[in-house]
Amino acid sequence: MKLTKLIIFMTFLTLSSGAFADDHGEHKQGRFKKAMEALELNQEQLESIKEFRKAQKGKKTEHFKKMKSLREEMKKAFIDDSSESELKRIHSELEAAHDEMTSHKLEKLIFMKKTLTQEQRQKFMDMKKNRFEKRRK
């Protein structure tokens, strides 16, 4: 009898846990679509932004791989007791890669400024601020 109650309770607990869970599954899936809907883009703006993102995707992926590789190289050089000059060389490459990433962000900002209306730009910046504040919590 006790075993039956325990099995029923555990089954209920397992099945009901999803109902009480917060919606954390949204990470990146659908975020772009929701943002574009919130900005109330016209078809031309939407197509333009999609093309820009598609063109940037390859660059972005390659850049992140490069940054990861450099960070791993830095860790290995540190652990392996490499020379200061070797650490400085790797650091210099990391700084250059970081500067490149910052330049890509500026390109995106300029593109969005050209594509969006003033009201949409204000809403876009508010959305960015809210997302940043959410992550900080």
Express each pLDDT in 4-29 by its tens digit.
Answer: 665 665 665 555 555 545 444 445 55
Domain ranges of the chain: 46-134
Mind spelling out the 3-state secondary structure of the chain? CHHHHHHHHHHHHHHHHHHHCCCCCCCCCCHHHHHHHHHCCCHHHHHHHHHHHHHHHHHHHHHHHHHHHHHHHHHHHHHCCCCHHHHHHHHHHHHHHHHHHHHHHHHHHHHHHHHCCHHHHHHHHHHHHHHHHHHHC
Query: Can you give the pTM of this predicted structure?
Result: 0.63
pLDDT at residue 22, as a whole number: 47
